[in-house]
Amino acid sequence: MSNTKRNIYLVLGPVLFLAFAFLLPASIFESFASRAAIGTVAWMAFWWITAPVDYAVTGFLPIAVNAIFQLTDMSAVISNYASETILLLLGASIITVSWEESGLDRRIAARFLGFIGENLRSQVIFWFILSAALSSVLPNAVVCATMTPIAIAMLTYIGEGDIANSRIGKKLLLTIAYAAGLGGIASPLGGAMNLVTVDYIQQITGEEYIFMHWVIKFLPIVIVLMIINILFMIRDVKKDETLGGSKDYFIQQYKAMPPMSFAEKWSFVMFAVATILAFTRSLYQDMLPGLKPAYVFIACAIITFVIADKSGERLIMWKSAQGKIIWEMLYIFAGGLAAGTLISNTGAAQSIGDAVAQMGLTGGLMTVFVIITVTLLMSDVTSNTATAAVAIPIVISIVQGIGLNPIPYIYIASIGVNLSYMLPTSIRAIPVGHGLPPKYMLKEGWKMTILVIVSMTIVAYLLLKFWPAFSLA
C-alpha cells in the first residue's frame, strides 16, 4: 500500500465516525452516544477492511473513543478485553504453541490428510460438517478455537501456511468459521444466545421448554443452511482440485514418522483434556460450577509450562511461547465485543428495534424478511447473545401488538441471531487472527448474507404458513 493511500484511509476512518455521530437522524437515534457507537463500528469496519493499521490496533478503538466521548461506563468496555472467551482463546493458543515446539502439528497434519484425502471439495465438506456438528452442542467459540489450529497445522504441512496469500487456506478457515456459527442453530446448547431465546419462550408459555422441540423445528432450517453454505464454499472448486500430494502419499508420510516423543504426547494430552472437559461441561458443572471451558483451557495451558521430561527440559517456556501466541486474534475478538457493548449500552440497538417496530409490519412475508435481515446484520456488529437480548423482546412486542402468536417469530429471529458473515467480529476474529484478510471475509460474506436472507425468508415463511407445529413452543 502506498503511503498516500494509507494516509487517505487513516483519515477516512475518523471522518466516517464523525459523519455517523453527527449526521444520523436524531429522530431515530436520539442520543449522541448511540450515534457515536454506530460511528465507532463504521470506523472499525473501514479500518479492518482497508488495513491502514494492524488489525489488532483497530480492536482498541472502542477504548479510545469511549475515553474521549464517555459513551458508556468504561469498565463495561474494557472488561471485553479480558472476557471468558478471550481467556479461552489465549489458553488454546498457548497449548497449540506446544504443538509447533514438539512437532505434533506435523503429525496431526499428516494424519488428517491421510484420513480425509487431498481432494479440496472433500476437505471443505469434512471441515464444515465436523465444525457444524460440534457447535450444535458446544459454544461456537470453543469449536472455532479448537478446529482452526488443527486446520492451520495441516495447511502449514502442505506449504499453505501463509493464509493471507493462500486460496486454499482462506477457504478452509472461512469454512470453519461459517460452520461453527451455523451449527449453533441446531440446538439450544449451541450458544448463550439460544438460551436467551429459550428463556423468553418459557416466560411466554409459563412452562419448561423441552430442548428436543427446538431440534425438530430447526432441522429443516439447518439442512437448507448447510446445503447453501457448502455449495457456496465449493462453487469455485474444481472436482479434481487437490491440496497437493495423494492420500497414499500422506499415509506413507505418517507411517514414516518416528514414535511420538514425550513432548508430543503431553502436547496432545493437554489439548485433548481441555477439549474433552469443555465438551463434557454438563457432566461436572454441578460439582465444579466455576470450571467453565475458558478456565479449563487456561488451567491446561499453565500445566504445559510445568511439564518437564527426565532431563528437566520443559514442554514450553514463556520466552518462546510469547512470540508465537496469536495476540492479534485476541484483540480483534475483544474489539468486536467492545464495539458490541457500545451498541448495546448506548441504546443504539434499542433505537434500531424501535424503528423496526414503527414499520407497520403485519406478520407476513415482509415481517419475516425484516426480522431476519435486522437480526443478522445486528449480529455482525455486536455479539450474538447481545443481539438476542435486544432483538427477541422487540420481536415479541411487535408480534403481540398485531395480535399474533409470537412463538414462531421468536424462532425466526433466532436464525438471524445465530448467523453473521461479513465482519471480523465474534468467532470470525479467530481466522482473521490466523491470517485471513478481513477484505476477503467481507467479499465472501456479503454474498452469503444476501443468500441467507433470501433463502431463510422463504423457508421460514413456508414453515410459518404450512407447518402448524412450527408455531408451538
pLDDT of residue 473 exceeding 80 = no
Instruction: Give the integer Cα–Cα distance in Å for 195 and 437.
Output: 32
- 10 Å CB burial of residue 242 (0-12, 13-18, 19+) is middle
Q: Report phi then psi at 246, rounded to 5.
A: -110, 165
pLDDT of residue 364 exceeding 70 = yes
Q: What is the pLDDT of residue 22?
A: 93
- Cell numbers found for residue 185: 442453530
- Cell numbers found for residue 208: 419448561
Task: Give the pLDDT confidence of 325-336 residue by residue, as tens digits.
Answer: 878 878 888 888
- Chain-centroid distance of CA 91 in Å reads 17
Q: What is the pLDDT of residue 457?
A: 96
Instruction: Give the integer Cα–Cα distance in Å for 142 and 190.
Output: 11
pLDDT > 70: what percent of the chain?
Answer: 99
- 10 Å CB burial of residue 31 (0-12, 13-18, 19+) is middle
Closest of 9, 39, 12 to residue 23, by C-alpha: 39
In three-state secondary structure terms, 314 is strand
**Can you say whether the dihedral through the CA atoms of 337, 184, 459, 236 is positive or negative?**
positive
What would you report as the CA-atom Rg of the chain, rounded to the nearest whole angstrom? 23
pLDDT of residue 190 exceeding 80 = no
What is the average pLDDT across 245-271? 83
How crowded is residue 337: how many other Cβ atoms within 10 Å of its Cβ?
A: 24
Q: What is the pLDDT of residue 461?
A: 95
Closest of 230, 236, 177 to residue 423, by C-alpha: 177
Closest of 363, 353, 356, 358 to residue 461, by C-alpha: 363
In whole numbers, what is the pLDDT of the chain averaged over residues? 87
The answer to whether the CB of 151 falls within 8 A of the CB of 195 is no
Lowest mean pLDDT among 12-21, 114-123, 377-386, 426-435: 377-386
Write the DSSP assignment of 344-381 as a string of letters. Answer: HHTTHHHHHHHHHHTT---SSHHHHHHHHHHHHHHHHH
Can you give the length of the chain in residues?
473
Q: What is the pLDDT of residue 169?
A: 93
pLDDT of residue 33 exceeding 90 = yes
Q: What is the pLDDT of residue 449?
A: 96
- Chain-centroid distance of CA 326 in Å reads 17
Q: What is the pLDDT of residue 19?
A: 95
Task: Give the pLDDT confidence of 287-301 residue by residue, as tens digits.
Answer: 988 888 888 889 999
What is the average pLDDT across 416-434? 88
Instruction: Give the integer Cα–Cα distance in Å for 296 and 7.
Output: 44
- Residue 231 vs residues 29, 110, 116, 284: alpha-carbon distances, Å: 39, 27, 19, 39
Lowest mean pLDDT among 109-123, 217-231, 405-419: 109-123
pLDDT of residue 279 exceeding 80 = no
Closest of 336, 381, 373 to residue 355, by C-alpha: 373
For 31, residues 6+ apart whose C-beta sits below 8 A from its C-beta are: 346, 347
What is the average pLDDT across 432-452? 93
Q: How confident is the model at residue 23 (pLDDT cuts 50, 70, 90)?
A: very high
Exposure of 311 in the CB half-sphere (CA atoms within 13 A) = 4
Q: What is the pLDDT of residue 242?
A: 82
Q: What is the pLDDT of residue 128?
A: 94
Instruction: Give the integer Cα–Cα distance in Å for 234 and 247.
Output: 20
What is the average pLDDT across 214-238? 93
pLDDT of residue 188 exceeding 70 = yes
Ranges of each domain in the chain: 82-191+207-321
* DSSP secondary structure letter of residue 404: -
Q: How confident is the model at residue 195 (pLDDT cuts 50, 70, 90)?
A: confident
Q: What is the pLDDT of residue 246?
A: 67
For 6, residues 6+ apart whose C-beta sits below 8 A from its C-beta are: 52
